[in-house]
Amino acid sequence: MPTSPLLSRLQGLAQITALALPLVWSSPTHAVEDLANGWSPSPVELAQLPPFCRAQLGKSSQPGQKTPVQMCGVYMNHLCPGAVLVNRAGQASIPREERKRIAKNARGDIDYTKTRIQPGCALQPYLNTVDERLRILEMVLK
């Protein structure tokens, strides 16, 4: 079945991201507040995200980069915050109980997105990758 160039690029990005994210660590002085409490990803956390997430968070260096909401609808607004939380929950420098709490919050964002994603959304491979990484983290943090 032929795939679009965008879908091929996103699938490649998802594969690279799945391999690279565990290797990239943020500083131990990261912010661990929830989104509702003025939370904002650090520059290192932003660098771990794909361009469409940086665009959503207002930190894109690529003019015209579409956000997940522009690509796949309003309910995609939880994907990138969830991805930041998944990355944060994977940081060994954070105490285990805090990582569990962060992973639980990430699960809420990822599940929200999974139940509302539009069929055929080009971000599905990235969502699957983030969800799988979170599933592994949840097993490790049990």
The chain-wide mean pLDDT, for the chain, equals 81
- Local structure of 8: helix, strand or coil: helix
pLDDT greater than 60 at residue 14: no
pLDDT greater than 80 at residue 25: no
DSSP string, 60-124: -SSTTPPPHHHHH-GGGGGHHHHHHHHHHHT-TTS-HHHHHHHHHHHHHHHHHHHHHPPTT-TTH
| pLDDT given at position 62 | 82
The pLDDT tens digits of the residues spanning 78-129 come to 999 999 999 999 999 999 999 999 999 999 999 999 999 999 999 999 999 9
Handedness of CA 47, 14, 76, 4 (dihedral sign): positive
Its pTM surpasses 0.85: no
| pLDDT given at position 40 | 82
Of all residues in the chain, what percent carry a pLDDT higher than 90? 62
| pLDDT given at position 8 | 61
